């Protein structure tokens, strides 16, 4: 026994450190449910901001949704926006302080239902902001009602018999639509279901922040996410359900990688 303890002591020393919590994440216990993607994405954002050395320049905009309290965890300045209005709030911040780094963090209800107009127009103006979109196909915060991204047949509190096309229309692939907008610079869909995916998602988030620094237009990162409580599945089942059902509908990968369009393409002739 003491041999094992000695062995552990030998392992726990600075040279062997392979991972540490980002200094931008505080020690507060997150309010997220076990198996929820929100916490993982928070960590990635904190790491990216820290690694890029932009803590002092960055202002986050948290949504109304489960991530409303994002401001409790990441040690940067924050503004909490009304439901759906984060892109407008971010626009206001960025326009008066163009030298700062501004990002929104929004759920599917926030970004793709009540805030659709603000989302589209912020991207269409090519606002130099980062938008992080947590698509968990449900309204987590209010107790698991249908979201615009809820899948056909998916049971939620307001689709107890499964989402029905005749009644509820189709799952909204808003990211595909946003990729069509000339103001978008970088549009990508990622997930965080395993370590490899987490690494990829982090790279995408970093790239989005770099694009903002280069003033290329809006950088948009969707993260296909789990809502274990809303889906009424345990964390392992949630990941599996996401891979089996969400990924075919919301395929991962880049949808646009460039910069906002040249105005000349859209200008009058004379």
Partner 1 sequence: MGELRLMKGNEVIAEAAIRCGCDAYFGYPITPQSEVMETLMANRPWEDTGMVVLQAESEIASIHMVYGAAGSGKRVMTSSSSPGISLMAEGISYMAGAELPCVIVNVQRGGPGLGTIQPSQADYNQATKGGGHGDYSLLVLAPASVQEMHDFVVLGFELAFKYRNPVMILADGVIGQLMEKVVLIDQRPRWTNEQIAEISGTWATTGKSKNRKKHVITSLEMDSFIMENNNLRLQAKYDQMKDEEVRFEAIECDDAEYIMVAFGSAARICQKTVQIARQKGVKVGLIRPITLLPFPEKIIAEYATKVKGFLSVEFNAGQMVNDIRLAVNGKTKVEYFGRMGGIVPTPDEVEAALEQKLIRG
Ligand X SMILES: Cc1ncc(C[n+]2csc(CCOP(=O)(O)OP(=O)(O)O)c2C)c(N)n1
Residue ranges binding Mg ion (CB under 5 A): 107-108, 136
Q: Which is nearer to partner 1, 92 or 162 (CB)?
A: 92
Interface pick for partner 1 out of 93, 111, 123, 185 (rule CB under 8 A): 93
Task: For the segment 118-137, give every residue that binds partner 1 (CB under 8 A).
Answer: 118, 120-121
Residue 142 Cβ, how far from partner 1 at the closest point, in Å?
A: 15
Residue 232 Cβ, how far from ligand SF4 at the closest point, in Å?
A: 10
Q: Which is nearer to ligand X, 144 or 217 (CB)?
A: 144
| Residue 109 lies near ligand SF4 (rule: CB under 6 A) | no
Interface pick for ligand SF4 out of 41, 45, 59, 66 (rule CB under 6 A): 66
Positions in the binding site for ligand X (CB under 6 A): 64-67, 83, 107-110, 134, 136, 138-142, 147, 227
Residue 150 Cβ, how far from ligand X at the closest point, in Å?
A: 10
Q: What are phi and psi of 216, to 5 degrees?
A: -90, -10
Q: Which of partner 1, ligand X, ligand SF4, none has residue 109 at its interface (CB below 5 to 8 Å by kind)?
A: ligand X
Q: Which is nearer to ligand SF4, 58 or 136 (CB)?
A: 136
| Residue 63 lies near ligand SF4 (rule: CB under 6 A) | no
Instruction: Tell me which residues touch ligand SF4 (CB under 6 A).
Output: 32-33, 36, 38, 66, 136, 140-141, 227-230
């Amino acid at each position: 026994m003491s041999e094992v303890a000695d062995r552990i002591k030998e392992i726990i020393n600075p040279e062997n450190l392979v991972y540490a919590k980002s200094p931008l994440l505080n020690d507060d216990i997150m309010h997220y449910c076990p198996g929820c993607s929100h916490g993982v994405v928070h960590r990635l954002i904190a790491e990216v901001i820290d690694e890029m050395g932009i803590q002092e320049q960055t202002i986050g905009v948290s949504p109304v949704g489960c991530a409303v309290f994002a401001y409790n965890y990441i040690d940067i300045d924050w503004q909490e926006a009304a439901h759906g209005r984060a892109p407008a709030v971010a626009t206001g911040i960025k326009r008066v302080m163009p030298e700062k780094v501004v990002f929104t963090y929004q759920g599917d209800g926030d970004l793709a239902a009540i805030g659709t107009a603000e989302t589209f127009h912020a991207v269409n103006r090519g606002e130099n902001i980062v938008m992080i979109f947590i698509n968990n196909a449900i309204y987590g915060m209010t107790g698991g009602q249908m979201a615009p991204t809820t899948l056909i047949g998916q049971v939620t509190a307001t689709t107890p018999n499964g989402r029905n096309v005749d009644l509820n229309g189709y799952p909204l692939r808003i990211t595909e639509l946003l990729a069509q907008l000339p103001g978008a610079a970088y549009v990508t869909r990622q997930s965080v279901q395993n370590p490899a995916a987490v690494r990829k998602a982090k790279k995408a988030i970093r790239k989005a922040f770099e694009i903002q620094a280069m003033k290329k237009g809006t950088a948009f990162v969707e993260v296909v996410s789990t809502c274990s409580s809303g889906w009424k599945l345990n964390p392992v089942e949630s990941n599996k359900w996401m891979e089996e059902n969400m990924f075919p509908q919301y395929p991962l990968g880049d949808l646009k990688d460039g910069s906002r369009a040249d105005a000349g393409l859209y200008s009058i002739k004379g």
